[in-house]
Amino acid sequence: MKVIKITAVWCSACLIMNKRWKEIEKDYDVETISYDLDFDEDEVKEYEVGEKLPVFIFLDGDKEIGRLIGEKSLEEIKKYIEELN
């Protein structure tokens, strides 16, 4: 599964989620493409980031099948991914 991860260096929730996502990458077969809100403006533009960060966009091919927004626990992330699968 392809996942677009949009974070920002100034966002504390993103820092926490980056670490949790590394754990997820160990347990699940995910291909992560990371973008920074401030430094990858062109790429981020097409995903319409709302008012909260971080944003994880789950793709099946090029089609968005789910979106996880904000700070979540490891269990919540795992549960969400399993529901998508």
Partner 1 sequence: MKKLLKYILVFLFFFCFLVNVNAKEKVTLYFFHGDGCPHCAAETTELIKDLEKRDDIKVVKYEVWHNQENSAFLDKVMAVYKTKTGIPYNVIGDTAIVGYNEANKFEIERALEYYKEHNDKYRDVVKLIKEGKEVKINDHYSKQDDKTDKDTTITIPFIGEFNVKNISVGSAAVLIGLVDGFNPCAMWVLLFLITALIGLKNRKRMILLGSIFLLTSGLVYFLIMFSWLNIIISVSTSILFRTLIGLFAIGAGIYNLYAYIKNRNQDDGCDVVDEKKRKTIISRIKKFTREKSLIIAILGIMALAISVNIVELLCSAGLPLVFSELLAINNITGMKAVVYDLIYVIFFMLDDFIVFFIAVKTMDVIGFSTKINKYSHLIGGIIMLLLGILLIFAPGIIMFNF
Judged by the rule CB under 8 A, the positions of this chain that interact with partner 1 are: 8-16, 37-38, 49-54, 69-72
CB 31 to partner 1: min, Å:
23
CB of 38 to partner 1, least distance (A): 6
Q: Which of 37, 23, 29, 41 is nearest to 2 (CA)?
A: 29
Q: How far is the CB of 84 from partner 1 (least distance, A)?
A: 17
Please say which residue, 27 or 50, places its beta carbon nearer to partner 1.
50
Task: Give CA–CA dist 64/60, Å, rounded.
Answer: 6
The amino acid present at 55, given as its one-letter code, is V
Q: With respect to partner 1, which residue has the nearer C-beta, 1 or 13?
A: 13
3-state secondary structure of 50: coil
In the chain, the N- to C-terminal Cα span, in Å, equals: 9
